[in-house]
Amino acid sequence: MNEVKIGIVGIGNMGSAHAAAIFDGKINGLRLTAVCDIRKERLDWAKERLPGLKGCYADYGEMLSAGGLDAVLIAVPHPLHPPFAIRALRAGLHVLTEKPAGIDTASVRQMNAEAEKSGKVFGIMYNQRTNPLFAALREGIQAGKLGELKRMVWIITNWYRSQAYYDSGSWRGTWKGEGGGVLLNQCPHNLDLWQWICGMPVRLRAECRIGRYHDIDVEDDVSILAEYANGAQAVFLTSTGEYPGTNRLEISGSLGKAVVENGTLTWTLLKEDERKVRVETKVGFPHMETEKEVLVQEGPESGHCGILQNFTDAVRSGTPLLAPGIEGIRGLSLSNAAYLSADRGGAWVELPVDEEAFAALLSRRQAEETDREKILSGEVLSGTYSERWKVSW
């Protein structure tokens, strides 16, 4: 295929940044052909900023049936990701969906099954997988550089948001519109990286504090404790109410530890496996020799453009996807399980998550929610890739 013709559904905050990047020729072999949004002002924006598109549609079905597309990029609110992906796959199109994969693993499993049946390329916008530090950390851990894993601690509290942010769209900060709070909106990247680097735990317990810092119906402050099959533990702390906040990931194993913070990956590696020293040494407080390896991030990650380019290359020439869409279910399982645990007073919840129990919880939350009047902030919701969407140290 010479060039991939793509349509974008949802040209708000994120979709408009994707649209501008593709339209401006930043992605080799990808042509923006159509856009779709239910809001007239967004289509007006598109007509002015992206002149000459084949179509500007107010209805997704119309965009799909008009033909002329090879692929669709989905950038609408999260609950719509699975149904919109399924419709595009059934129309014979390749799909790149925004994160999170959806709001419940049951509908995401249906989407994954449809994608596998279709044989089409199905990717997810996990742009933080392009960060060289996370990629190097994953590669090292998979190669056994830290030995057997003992603990992961991620403090990811630099997702600060104001009340005006939550008020900038009626779907934000609601169970009906978003299916959750900081775990569903900001943290899908971190939950994905957690499992991408360390694999999936077998159970977790969590506290998800609802509206601790904002007038919202969903959680904005979370503590998760998870456990792996080998007994290793993971602690994941996040919030949209702390400033300046922290982004620090520390993983320890029997051969040392790795820390990612402030744009630097530092390995502190033991010469001998700690498990051996522990049982063999006659010294009570042994000092073990270590050596440091430091990797400093030079410049920003390729981010959203990196994922768009990789998706395009996958469609054109079968390049393996950096972020296959079917992997989106894993990070979502962690947040679905955290909600279940929090609802049960912090009890342990096994993974894979009980989908029926989660569906019941979600519909109860949605039914209980009051439709609050939102004073829309009037923030301009279009433009280019913002620094705040890159890994922020």
Ligand X SMILES: NC(=O)c1ccc[n+]([C@@H]2O[C@H](COP(=O)([O-])OP(=O)(O)OC[C@H]3O[C@@H](n4cnc5c(N)ncnc54)[C@H](O)[C@@H]3O)[C@@H](O)[C@H]2O)c1
Site residues (vs ligand X, CB under 6 A): 9-15, 36-39, 42, 60, 75-78, 80, 98-99, 125, 127, 169, 185, 381, 389
Least distance in angstroms from the C-beta of 13 to ligand X: 3
Pick the closer one to ligand X by CB: 99 or 365.
Answer: 99
Least distance in angstroms from the C-beta of 112 to ligand X: 17
Least distance in angstroms from the C-beta of 39 to ligand X: 4
Q: Cα(first)–Cα(last) distance of the chain, in Å?
A: 39
Pick the closer one to ligand X by CB: 117 or 388.
Answer: 388
**What is the enclosing helix (H) or strand (E) of 80?**
none
Residue closest to ligand X, measured at CB: 12
Pick the closer one to ligand X by CB: 38 or 229.
Answer: 38
Least distance in angstroms from the C-beta of 205 to ligand X: 26
Question: How many CA within 13 A on the CB side of residue 229?
Answer: 5
Residue whose structure tokens are 């072999």: 29
Pick the closer one to ligand X by CB: 78 or 150.
Answer: 78
Contact assessment for residue 133 and residue 106, using Cβ atoms and an 8 Å cutoff: no
Pick the closer one to ligand X by CB: 10 or 173.
Answer: 10
Least distance in angstroms from the C-beta of 184 to ligand X: 8
Q: Which amino acid is at 157?
A: T
Alpha helices in 281-354, H assignment, sequence order: 303-317, 328-343
Collapsing DSSP to helix, strand or coil, 78 comes out as helix
State how far the Cα of 304 lies from the Cα of 126, in Å rounded to an integer. 8
Least distance in angstroms from the C-beta of 17 to ligand X: 8
Least distance in angstroms from the C-beta of 369 to ligand X: 18
Pick the closer one to ligand X by CB: 114 or 301.
Answer: 301
Least distance in angstroms from the C-beta of 172 to ligand X: 7
Contact assessment for residue 200 and residue 350, using Cβ atoms and an 8 Å cutoff: no
Beta-carbon count within 10 A of 130 CB: 22
Pick the closer one to ligand X by CB: 80 or 314.
Answer: 80
Cβ-Cβ contacts under 8 Å for 223 (sequence gap 6 or more): 206, 207, 235, 236, 237
Bond from prior residue into 244 cis (ω within 30 degrees of 0): yes
Pick the closer one to ligand X by CB: 11 or 329.
Answer: 11
The string over 368-387, giving b where at least 16 C-beta atoms fall within 10 Å of a residue's C-beta and e elsewhere, is eeeeeebeeeeeebbeebee
Cβ-Cβ contacts under 8 Å for 194 (sequence gap 6 or more): 152, 154, 234, 236, 331, 334
Least distance in angstroms from the C-beta of 163 to ligand X: 16
- Bridge partner residues of 257 (DSSP): 252, 268
Pick the closer one to ligand X by CB: 69 or 76.
Answer: 76
State how far the Cα of 199 lies from the Cα of 229, in Å rounded to an integer. 10
